[in-house]
């Protein structure tokens, strides 16, 4: 079976994404009742990290174990990832050992190379371009917290902040699903034209909308969800003073900005956060904040993704056949004495 990778939500239809989210809901429901189905017995997950992460590592490692499998944490320096061995060779070799690969890479090109050469599913745990596992979790969280009577296609989501890898992914999945998405940022830090072109194409198919503005107050006035993220990423440390000056205080999600949104509006952040920078403690710890529900849902999302990608590929021999194989090996071992 050719592997199905999870690299970009753009690779999937609206219905496929909704099916995945429903699978996540079912697995979370089972988990909350202490009955997580062990659908991936003895499955192995290789976790490749070029950058550390709290939520990504823990959610995938706990997730595969609770589904009946096990994980290998492979941090920088422990394996050849395009260093002293080609990326293609690394991908092909790891594929012979495990059932699925999750990678968190600094460059999107590395992720694409892994997926091109791996013979097992590859899951994108984050690159410099996108973070698809996070935004599937985000939409699932929105569905849990949206007002009664509203449909997914009714939701208005406003992202306040830099054009990060989370922004690209959130803009694309929301527009793919027919939601209404706004990005508020200084002109210099707004979503690039290519991302908007993709989002607008999604909207033509889904009925959603996308817009970009430099006015955060106007951006949040009808928002069901306000989302923010860090204002700088790996490699942008030298730009911190300039970026802070560009965003602060106009684009900080504080009590004043949140008060400009409807009373039912919820606050979201993928974490980690620079508290007191892109968002204040007062907002992050408020009753309108769902950041910890969002963080928890990474676990349920990873479980859903692992089942979605790996379960159809697993061999499931019957007990009689397994017993036959065991007896064959035991008979050989007995003859060696």
pLDDT digit string, tens, across residues 198-214: 999 999 999 999 999 99
| Domain assignments of the chain as residue spans, ordered by start | 9-131+296-314, 134-294
Q: 20 pLDDT band (50/70/90 cuts)?
A: very high
Is 270 among the catalytic positions? yes
Mean pLDDT, the chain, rounded, equals 96
**CATH top-level class of 134-294:** alpha beta
Active-site entry in 104, 117, 183, 300 = 104
In the predicted model, what is the mean pLDDT of residues 253-262?
98
* pTM for this prediction: 0.96
Q: 82 pLDDT band (50/70/90 cuts)?
A: confident
Is 174 among the catalytic positions? no
In the predicted model, is pLDDT for residue 127 greater than 70? yes
Active-site entry in 5, 55, 57, 131 = 131
Range with the lowest mean pLDDT among 75-89, 176-190, 270-284? 75-89
In the predicted model, what is the mean pLDDT of residues 183-200?
98
Is 229 among the catalytic positions? yes
Active-site entry in 99, 270, 294, 300 = 270
Is 260 among the catalytic positions? no
Active-site entry in 229, 265, 269, 288 = 229
In the predicted model, what is the mean pLDDT of residues 265-271?
98
Is 269 among the catalytic positions? no
In the predicted model, what is the mean pLDDT of residues 22-42?
97
For domain 9-131+296-314, the CATH architecture is 3-Layer(aba) Sandwich (3.40)
User: What was the pLDDT predicted at 157?
Assistant: 98
In the predicted model, is pLDDT for residue 91 greater than 70? yes
Is 31 among the catalytic positions? no
In the predicted model, is pLDDT for residue 1 greater than 90? no
The 3 state secondary structure assigned to the chain is: CCCCCECCHHHCCHHHHHHHHHHHHHHHHHHHCCCCCCCCCCCEEEEEECCCCCHHHHHHHHHHHHCCCEEEEECCCCCCCCCCCCHHHHHHHHHHHCCEEEEECCCHHHHHHHHHHCCCCEEECCCCCCCHHHHHHHHHHHHHHCCCCCCHHHCEEEEECCCCHHHHHHHHHHHHCCCEEEEECCHHHCCCHHHHHHHHHHHHHHCCEEEEECCHHHHHCCCCEEEECCCCCCCCHHHHHHHHHHHCCCCCECHHHHHCCCCCCEEEECCCCCECCCECHHHHCCCCECHHHHHHHHHHHHHHHHHHHHHHHCCCCCHHHHHHHHHHHHHHHHHCC
Sign of the torsion angle spanned by Cα atoms 236, 126, 103, 37: positive
Same fold, 9-131+296-314 and 134-294: yes
Task: Give percent of the chain above pLDDT 90.
Answer: 93
């Amino acid at each position: 079976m050719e592997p199905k990778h999870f690299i970009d939500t753009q690779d999937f239809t609206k219905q496929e994404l909704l099916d995945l989210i429903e699978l996540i809901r079912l697995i979370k429901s089972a988990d909350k009742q202490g009955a997580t189905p062990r659908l991936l017995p003895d499955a192995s997950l290789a976790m490749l990290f070029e950058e550390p992460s709290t939520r990504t590592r823990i959610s995938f490692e706990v997730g595969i174990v609770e589904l009946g499998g096990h994980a290998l944490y492979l941090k920088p320096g422990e394996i050849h990832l395009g260093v002293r061995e080609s990326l293609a060779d690394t991908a092909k070799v790891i594929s012979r050992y495990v059932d699925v690969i999750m990678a968190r890479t600094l460059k999107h090109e590395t992720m694409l190379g892994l997926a091109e050469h791996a013979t097992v599913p590859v899951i994108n745990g984050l690159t410099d371009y996108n973070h698809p596992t996070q935004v599937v979790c985000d939409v699932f969280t929105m569905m849990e917290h949206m007002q009664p009577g509203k449909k997914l296609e009714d939701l208005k989501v406003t992202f306040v902040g830099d054009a990060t890898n989370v922004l690209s992914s959130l803009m694309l999945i929301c527009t793919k699903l027919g939601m209404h998405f706004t990005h508020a940022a200084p002109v210099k830090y707004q979503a690039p034209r290519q991302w908007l072109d993709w989002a607008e194409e999604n909207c033509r198919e889904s009925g959603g909308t996308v817009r970009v503005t430099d006015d955060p107050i106007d951006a949040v006035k009808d928002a069901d969800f306000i989302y923010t993220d860090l204002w700088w990423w790996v490699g942008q440390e030298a730009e911190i003073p300039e970026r802070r000056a560009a965003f602060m205080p106009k684009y900080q999600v504080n009590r004043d900005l949140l008060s400009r949104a409807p009373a039912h509006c919820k606050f979201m952040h993928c974490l980690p956060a620079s508290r007191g920078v892109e968002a204040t403690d007062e907002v992050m710890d408020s009753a309108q904040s769902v950041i910890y529900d969002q963080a928890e849902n990474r676990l349920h999302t990873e479980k859903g993704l692992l089942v979605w990608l790996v379960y159809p590929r697993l061999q499931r021999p019957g007990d009689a056949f397994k017993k036959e194989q065991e007896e064959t090996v035991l008979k050989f071992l007995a003859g060696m004495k």
